Structure 1
Amino acid sequence: MVTIRLSRAGAKKRPFYHITVTDSRKPRDGRFIERVGFFNPIAQGNDVRLKVDHERVDYWVGTGASLSERVESLIKESKLSPEEIKKSLDKKEQLRLKKLAKKKESLAEEAAPEAALEASAEEASAEEAPAEEAAPEAAVEAPAEEAPAEEAAPESGSEDSQEKTDK
């Protein structure tokens, strides 16, 4: 099967790709049938970033060649005018700024409950002082309530010990 894909060239950490028509069984940078363009991802200034021979790509697609995902997106990009490319880049930048704003809001919302917890902890410590005066009265009533519960607990514990001996 014939595919149109990228073949890496260029130096270390300086990629440059040829858009090639290749037998899919061949290695990425191996033998190719035809070069139909190039892609320079690090182009700056007046350097040409992308060049594609659309007539040859259409011919090979017509003969049954398949496009890799990246080459397909590059071909779509090469068909756009510079103004359309600028619009799409501006739109992407606006989306990125919106995401950053949402992230800042969510971080602020997470920080707000923590601040509220700290404030409520301070209020609770202020309320504990009067509550401590009322606590000794409640403590006197609590032992009286615990006594019947303690009496009931040994009875249930003795039943468990009898069951263990029966087994």
Structure 2
Amino acid sequence: MALKIKLQRAGATHEPVYRVVVAEARGRRDGRFVEKLGTYLPKQKDAAKQLELNVERAEYWMSVGAQPTDTSNSLIKRARKEQAAAAEA
């Protein structure tokens, strides 16, 4: 069973809400998932509320072989930067 960290779309028309999930690679985009790691709200104006992601769990899943998609990988990197900036402050 190959796992991927990918985005699952939810929300209304023109108001997308994405869940960052760990799911089977061959499954549907909005299908069943193993674990929900966070949410991404692309239309949110406040950058702090735009991305909520459990970075520790994402790193765990990557350590056991889950491959992030390009978009989810960029979101994970962004969440790491935000987490590091919050730790400094």
Q: Give the aligned partner of residue 73 of structure 1.
A: 74
- Residues 51, 63 of structure 1: alpha-carbon distance in 2 compared, 3 angstrom cutoff: same
CA distance in 1: counterparts of 2:47 and 2:70, whole angstroms: 27
Gaps of 5+ in 2: none
Q: Percent identity among equivalent residues?
A: 35
User: Does residue 62 of structure 1 match 2:79?
Assistant: no
Bigger Rg, which one: 1
What TM-score results when the alignment is normalised by the length of structure 2? 0.85
Gaps of 5+ in 1: 85-167
The answer to whether the Cα contact below 8 Å between 2:55 and 2:79 also exists between their aligned partners in 1 is: no
Letter in structure 2 aligned against 1:15 = P
- Residues 77, 47 of structure 1: alpha-carbon distance in 2 compared, 3 angstrom cutoff: closer
Higher RCO, 1 vs 2 (CA within 8 Å, ≥6 residues apart): 2
Greater strand content? 2
Greater helix content? 1
User: Does residue 30 of structure 1 match 2:10?
Assistant: no
How far residue 46 of structure 1 moved from its aligned partner, in angstroms, is: 7.6
RMSD: 1.9
C-alpha distance after superposition, 1:79-103 (max 9, x if no partner) = 2249x7xxxxxxxxxxxxxxxxxxx
CA distance in 2: counterparts of 1:46 and 1:5, whole angstroms: 21
CA distance in 2: counterparts of 1:46 and 1:58, whole angstroms: 22
Give 1:1-167 correspondences, 5 Å limit: 1-45=2-46, 48-81=49-82
C-alpha distance after superposition, 1:81-133 (max 9, x if no partner) = 49x7xxxxxxxxxxxxxxxxxxxxxxxxxxxxxxxxxxxxxxxxxxxxxxxxx
- Residues 47, 10 of structure 1: alpha-carbon distance in 2 compared, 3 angstrom cutoff: farther
